[in-house]
Structure 1
Amino acid sequence: MQFDNRKVFYPEWEGTSIMKQVKSLFQCFRPQSLQICQSLTKQECVSSVLSFVVYCAGLLWTNHFEEISMAGVLLLRPVPAFLYSVLFFLFICFRNRKKLHTLGLTTEHLKSALAFLAVVLAASLLFHVRHFLTNQTTVITFLSQAAFYLALFFFTEEFIFRGYLWPRLVKLFGFHPGTILCGTLYGLLILANPGNYHFETLTPLILFNTLFSGIVIQYLFSLLYMKFGNIYVSTILRAGVYFFILL
């Protein structure tokens, strides 16, 4: 199912004053103007929040494994969390199989997302060209790592916090309260990841910076979601940062 973002995010501004243009822009952020939210019921949203709580409990449990053996294969963190998130993704998609557009899983602007991915990959390959020329690594190794980061951030962050949780919180609380709450939860989950911080070294400044960063990222990527009608662009942007620091 597709929806036309142009009717929602591009009001007619021709011949209007600057103040009216600004007012029209902020009206675009109203939850009732989001067609994603319009097809959701409050009962569905409450159920989704409860499912998210269950997901977080399981995710924190998997994150406390430094390593785990599965069928004789040693898996290092964050692989267990990644596999758990994939299972949650499949479960949520099955439950919402008739409303996949409410999860950011649409073909809206898919070509634009693929073009953006091509640009980011090309730029990162050029950035690492000296590593390839000196045989420090290979293009295949780099691309396999890039693919892993794309999948990792898609399943563990963008699908969860942008595609799944954010529209439902917006439906329940409104655009700004829902976005701030979602960004705060995003920051808290980052703090709870034992690979990032230890609670004995956690300071108020680190707490503030992480939560503030989570809210800023949530706003930025939510706007990308509204602009393009999918979570693919935000996934590429999130993972693309790591393309330049790989190797």
Structure 2
Amino acid sequence: MKNKIIYKADSRGHADHGWLKSFHTFSFANYRNNDRVHFGVLRVLNDDYVAPGMGFGTHPHENMEIISIPLSGSLEHRDSMGNGEVIKAEEIQAMSAGTGVQHSEFNPDENQASQFLQIWVFPNQLNVQPRYQQIGLSKKDRHNQWDQILSPNPEDKGVWIYQNAWFHRADLDQDKSLSYSLKDRANGIFLFVLEGSISIDEVELGRRDAIGFSNEPDFTIHALQNSEVLLMEIPMELPSYLK
């Protein structure tokens, strides 16, 4: 396996604001690590905990693909496009910020905390019309198999974004192996272990560990115990506007 980078869970940046506890795989807010600014077009992977009844006030974004994946609890989303939705576990949300959008996110439940992944991807084109999308997911679709939850194509399964990327989830039983072949052989892979532990190319990864690699068109992961994983296939070359 070439160009391999391992991201251990305990090496991530951490912010504790009381109501918000966040782990940052890449530089974000007050966490700065010049060796961890992005992986290919993957710019942000935040593992967030939001206390009951708390949340993020209205704030702006532009020219970024923003994906939210709740792991437990719920988030209420409101934006300047007129959307007002509650997103829950077993759903995924994608927002193309494009020319500019303002939004807020807060936990509407007064009793249960919300845990979710906040993911930012550099888009492959600038100043698109802002858009919002939210769909449901099904655990049975990812039991011991890859379930596509994001792609570049509006007609395909999952949400879509302005980037040549594909995201998949899988829930693996212990000792199950699962292979994957790149949709685009020029892409790389960022694999994030949500729960459990897996091995890939003799590397063992535990809960919230991750690995990024490229130049590996086909590979296999093996579950060392019951495990949940998020696979992100993404372009490794940054868009021309960032060069």
TM-score per shorter chain, which class? under 0.3
Higher helix fraction (1 or 2) = 1
Instruction: Output the TM-score relative to the length of structure 2.
Output: 0.25
Instruction: Output the TM-score relative to the length of structure 1.
Output: 0.25
Which has more radius of gyration? 1
| Greater relative CO, 1 or 2 (CA 8 Å, sep 6+) | 1
Higher strand fraction (1 or 2) = 2
